[in-house]
């Protein structure tokens, strides 16, 4: 089977969409399929090529001149690679695939990673549509996607070809760790407010924030106003966040919106005690509260109480650590690839 994945880029930046696509492409190539990726480029080109995956450079900048050029370049890629399946992970790729199809026989699969974005409506153009959680699937049904072409394939990171373990790290005192893009929707303002409550009880508590994004300066300014500013650490993007997760006493994801929460699988894999918000796909990722404490979003007081419960009751913390590592075989990239291939096969015989 000839499979062409398309996304904006393949940069090693912590972007969950890119990570899922790269994992999926590599696993499909291992199984024996002919796989290619079209994107602007980035660090993961080397990894793709190591797996025999052709990378085609495709600039999808959303400006009229660039989009016109992207249309012609994409048609050349299709003519050269002759895909059976085009798997679009972002809006621009989905549109290019649809507009360029003409008399080509390829089928289009669109993958909805961030349902809360308005652009997710564009993903309806797929012949099949993949949602990363039941919560996303329910939302897309309400937005007009036909049930007959909607499929749920939950993400997985276990066995990722991207994984290159780094050196272990040592964190100060009681370490509360969060890994996310620096966006307001990730709940970092609430997390810092919750941390202040925790820090008032535990003088040795430190908050470590890993990730980059456009709102980082806002968060750094807020941290500078905190009486505990010396214990709030911005570490930027880290290529192996699991080294920090292993050193964490508590891992926190305070998102307002989160289609799945891929980072939570990484946290579960290393046995973190997890506190996360009860939104969108997060409950599914944490077995509806068995593998971590769930709290309502935008409630720093309840977030603080959950973190304090993990710290004050070691037996509770240890129980969550053990539960987090149960059933992880389901979250393997191999299972994700096989589930996705079944969708392709159904399309090609329909």
Contacts of residue 179, Cβ cutoff 8 Å, sequence gap at least 6: 14, 210, 211, 238, 241, 244, 245, 251, 253, 263, 266, 267
Task: Give me the mean pLDDT over the 110-114 stretch.
Answer: 93
Q: How confident is the model at residue 211 (pLDDT cuts 50, 70, 90)?
A: very high
Mean of all residue pLDDT scores within the chain:
95
Name residue 250's beta-bridge partners: 176
pLDDT of residue 70: 87
- The C-alpha atoms of residue 142 and residue 80 are separated, in whole angstroms, by 38
Please determine, for residue 154, whether its predicted confidence score (pLDDT) is greater than 90. yes
What is the reported pLDDT for 102? 84
Residue 45 has pLDDT above 90, yes or no: yes
- Direct distance between the N- and C-terminal alpha carbons of the chain, in angstroms, rounded to an integer: 15
DSSP state of 331: G
The pLDDT assigned to 120 comes to 83
User: Does the pLDDT at position 103 exceed 80?
Assistant: no
Lowest model confidence (mean pLDDT) among 139-148, 246-255, 297-306: 139-148
pLDDT digits (tens, 9 = 90+) for 156-202: 999 999 987 778 899 999 999 999 999 999 999 999 999 999 999 99
Alpha helices in 289-332 (DSSP H): 300-312, 314-324
Residue 60: band (very low, low, confident or very high) from pLDDT cuts 50, 70, 90: confident
What pLDDT does residue 62 have? 74
Q: Is the pLDDT of residue 49 over 90?
A: yes
Overall pTM > 0.95: no
Is a pLDDT exceeding 90 seen at residue 89?
yes
In whole angstroms, give the CA distance from residue 43 to residue 92: 21
* Tokens of residue 132, six digits: 């990363």
Domains of the chain: 2-156+332-349 (3.40.50.2000), 174-330 (3.40.50.2000)
Cα–Cα nearest to 337, from 157, 210, 182:
157
Q: What are the start-end ranges of the E strands in the chain?
A: 2-6, 34-39, 54-57, 85-88, 107-112, 128-131, 150-152, 174-179, 205-210, 232-236, 250-253, 274-277, 293-295
């Amino acid at each position: 089977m000839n499979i062409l994945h398309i996304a904006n880029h393949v940069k090693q930046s912590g972007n969950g969409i890119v990570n899922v696509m790269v994992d999926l492409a590599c696993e499909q190539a291992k199984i024996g399929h002919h796989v290619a990726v079209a994107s602007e480029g980035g660090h993961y080109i080397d990894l793709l090529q190591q797996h025999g995956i052709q990378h085609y450079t495709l600039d999808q900048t959303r400006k009229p001149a660039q989009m016109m050029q992207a249309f012609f370049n994409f048609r050349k890629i299709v003519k050269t690679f002759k895909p059976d399946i085009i798997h679009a992970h972002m809006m621009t790729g989905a549109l290019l695939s649809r507009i360029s199809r003409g008399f080509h026989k390829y089928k289009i699969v669109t993958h909805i990673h961030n349902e809360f974005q308005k652009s997710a409506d564009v993903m309806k153009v797929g012949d099949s549509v993949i949602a990363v959680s039941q919560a996303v699937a329910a939302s897309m049904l309400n937005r007009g996607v036909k049930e007959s072409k909607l499929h749920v394939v939950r993400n997985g990171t276990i066995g990722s070809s991207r994984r290159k373990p780094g050196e272990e790290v040592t964190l100060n005192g009681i370490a509360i760790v969060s890994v996310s893009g620096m966006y307001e929707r990730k709940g970092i303002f609430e997390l810092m407010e919750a941390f202040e409550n925790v820090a008032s009880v535990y003088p040795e508590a430190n908050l470590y924030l890993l990730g980059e994004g456009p709102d980082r300066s806002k968060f750094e300014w807020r941290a500078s106003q905190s009486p505990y500013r010396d214990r709030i650490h911005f570490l930027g993007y880290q290529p192996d966040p699991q080294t920090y997760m292993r050193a964490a006493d508590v891992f926190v994801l305070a998102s307002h919106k989160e289609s799945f929460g891929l980072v939570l699988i990484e946290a579960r894999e290393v046995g973190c005690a997890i506190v996360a918000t009860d939104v969108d796909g997060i409950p599914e990722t944490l077995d509806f509260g068995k593998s971590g404490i769930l709290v309502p979003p935008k409630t720093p007081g309840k977030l603080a109480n959950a973190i304090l419960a993990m710290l004050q009751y070691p037996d509770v913390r240890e129980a969550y650590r053990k539960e987090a590592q149960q059933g992880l075989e389901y979250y393997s990239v191999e299972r994700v690839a096989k589930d996705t291939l079944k969708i392709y096969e159904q399309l090609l015989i329909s």
